Amino acid sequence: MLNVGVIGVGSISRHHIEQYLHHKNVHLHAFCDHNIERLQEKGELYNIEQLYGEYHDLLKNKNLDAVSICTWNNSHAEIAIAALEAGKHVLVEKPLSMTVEEALAVKEAVHKTGKVLQVGFVRRHSESTKILKEFIDNGDLGDIYYAKASYLRRLGNPGGWFSDKKKSGGGPLIDLGVHVIDICWYLMGKPKPVSVSGNTYHRLGNRSNIENLSFYKAADYNPELNDVEDLANAIIRFENGASIMVDVSFTLHAKENEVNVKIYGEKAGAEVEPELLITSEKHNTILNVSPQIDNRSLHFKKAFKEEIDHFVTCCLDGKENIASVDDGVQIMKILNAVYQSAKNGKEVYL
């Protein structure tokens, strides 16, 4: 059995908690949150008795083998390092940290302690990703040289900590871009990034004046605080000549929301989101092939189940972790370079 605690019991923690509760090899028995009201409410809801207002106190619990860190981005690195040093395995929500320096400190702690650290790159665990990866690993796409991703919300600044740079590290780039850049990079075979050119815009604000459309809001919603970008775009170049083009927004004068992830190889291309589709050519004819599976779209709940199952197996059986700290560091380097490039108005070399 793996004895688990969850640190930060706000919105996303539900996906961790419910999967741990259903896992036959897990005993979930501790929660931590510095919002005591929320901590008690979640403790009651899930029947968890060991409740801590401070993560240091939870980490002193000798019965815990592993923790999920579902706090704001500003505490990911600090809590991950403390947890590793306390001898716990760690599943940390994306992004690994707010800065490259923090990410490297987490990497050092992983190497020092030998504990498992998995980054919450949930898209890597979706059924459609796994199927496409099988095609890629068998050479069906050939050399992948281009990827294009858009994660555009026309109205979707969650407010609260998401739009407070001190707690988030940035806006849609670090919140949404992290997911789509990671999935492209992962499927492309994790080529070495060499340069990044990016732009960020802070033109529209949070647009909380729009009252006739609903959108996702942080647990502690506060539209007043907003010092993050509302749009970011970038081109990322790799040592093997491949490139990724990406744009992400919290708010934009767009007709509708859009999530599109596409990768292109010499033998075939693929739409990863919104629905898995493989495009190739045979006998002088172009084929659009739709894999026949239960869910060609990103099935969030199922992807979280697979993510948690993977973490538990890595902790209990020593299985190789597919979302390691090294990958978390590399993604932080790319994100940081986009912000740096946008700030300086120049391409950044990594």
Ligand X SMILES: NC(=O)c1ccc[n+]([C@@H]2O[C@H](COP(=O)([O-])OP(=O)(O)OC[C@H]3O[C@@H](n4cnc5c(N)ncnc54)[C@H](O)[C@@H]3O)[C@@H](O)[C@H]2O)c1
Of 87, 165, 76, give the one whose Cα is nearest residue 119. 76
- For ligand X, the closer of residues 73 and 251 by Cβ is 73
Indicate whether 73 belongs to the interface with ligand X (CB under 6 A). Answer: yes
Indicate whether 327 belongs to the interface with ligand X (CB under 6 A). Answer: no
Binder among 71, 126, 226, 233 for ligand X (CB under 6 A): 71
What residues numbered 181-210 form the site for ligand X, per CB under 6 A?
A: none
Binder among 2, 5, 6, 8 for ligand X (CB under 6 A): 8
Give Cα 8 distance to the centre of its chain. 16
Indicate whether 31 belongs to the interface with ligand X (CB under 6 A). Answer: no
- For ligand X, the closer of residues 41 and 281 by Cβ is 41
Of 263, 269, 274, 260, give the one whose Cα is nearest residue 289. 269
C-alpha to C-alpha distance for 263 and 185, rounded to whole angstroms: 10
Indicate whether 75 belongs to the interface with ligand X (CB under 6 A). Answer: yes
Indicate whether 68 belongs to the interface with ligand X (CB under 6 A). Answer: no
Can you count the helices (H) and strands (E) in the chain? 11, 15
> Phi first, then psi: what are they for 31, rounded to 5°?
-125, 150
Minimum distance from residue 74 beta carbon to ligand X (Å): 7
- For ligand X, the closer of residues 83 and 268 by Cβ is 83
Stretch of 28-36, 190-198, 285-293, 330-338 contacting ligand X, by CB under 6 A: 28-36
Which contiguous run of DSSP H or E holds residue 289?
strand 285-289
C-alpha to C-alpha distance for 11 and 89, rounded to whole angstroms: 22
Give Cα 39 distance to the centre of its chain. 24
Indicate whether 11 belongs to the interface with ligand X (CB under 6 A). Answer: yes
Minimum distance from residue 256 beta carbon to ligand X (Å): 20
Stretch of 10-18, 143-151, 236-244, 340-348 contacting ligand X, by CB under 6 A: 10-18
CA torsion sign for 10, 11, 16, 17 is positive
- For ligand X, the closer of residues 67 and 242 by Cβ is 67
Minimum distance from residue 133 beta carbon to ligand X (Å): 19
Indicate whether 2 belongs to the interface with ligand X (CB under 6 A). Answer: no
Phi-psi bin for 114: left (phi > 0), alpha (psi -120 to 50), beta? left
C-alpha to C-alpha distance for 31 and 5, rounded to whole angstroms: 6
How many residues interact with ligand X (rule CB under 6 A)?
27
Indicate whether 135 belongs to the interface with ligand X (CB under 6 A). Answer: no
